[in-house]
Amino acid sequence: MASKVIHAIYNDDDLLLQAVKQVREARYHIGEIYTPFPVHGLDKVMGLAPTRLAITSFLYGLVGLTVAVLMMNFIMIEDWPQDIGGKPSFSFLQNMPAFIPIMFELTVFFAAHLMVITFYLRSRLWPFKAAENPDPRTTDDKFLMEVDVANHNVDDLSKFLYNTGALEIKLIEN
């Protein structure tokens, strides 16, 4: 069975936020919202869970720090210790002040690169993926709210969305 959605077009981000509040209060399901720029507070109004990307970034930073410590300990202490500038390489702790810049850089490197890869995997942005934008005007100046019709009356839902300030309503069958 084909699913039906309604695309409601808005021309103002404040109007969109108010409409999202009204649609959620009326217990309609919002499938997706397309905007030309990030709208502050939209995630909270939609009831989306907060992102855990910062937690993964911290964990990736710990991985980078661990790799840096293990790498420098192996290279500079165990494998090929050298007397550089009169500083003997007898232990890692004696030489740690010289290793701090490398530890910092690898922590940032791992956190940044692995976080970007995680973001692309989570949002399913593969290379050469076709755009999923249903209306090209949402890349310029319009805001689109996709509402699932499910078991609701299309005419009542359309009237409700027009009352929230929608400029244009389209019924789409998938």
pLDDT digits (tens, 9 = 90+) for 33-59: 999 999 999 999 999 998 888 899 999
CB atoms inside a 10 Å sphere around CB 98: 14
Burial of residue 10, with CB atoms counted within 10 A of its CB: 0-12 exposed, 13-18 middle, 19 or more buried: buried
This model's pTM is above 0.75? no
- C-alpha 98/C-alpha 147 separation (Å) is 58
Statement: residue 75 has pLDDT above 70? yes
pLDDT band of 2, cuts 50, 70, 90? low
Statement: residue 141 has pLDDT above 50? yes
- C-alpha 38/C-alpha 22 separation (Å) is 20
Q: Are 28 and 149 in contact (CB under 8 A)?
A: no
Statement: residue 68 has pLDDT above 70? yes
- C-alpha 146/C-alpha 156 separation (Å) is 16
Paired tokens of 46: 């939609």
Please, which residues have CB within 8 angstroms of residue 107's CB and are 6 or more apart in sequence? Answer: 61, 62, 64, 65, 68
pLDDT band of 92, cuts 50, 70, 90? confident
Statement: residue 67 has pLDDT above 90? yes
Residue range 117-135, pLDDT digits in tens: 998 888 888 888 888 888 8
Calculate mean pLDDT across residues 147-174: 90
Paired tokens of 104: 């910092």
Q: Are 124 and 19 in contact (CB under 8 A)?
A: no
pLDDT band of 168, cuts 50, 70, 90? very high
Say how far residue 109 (Cα) sits from the centre of its chain: 19
What is the distance in angstroms between the CA of the first residue and the CA of the last residue of the chain? 9
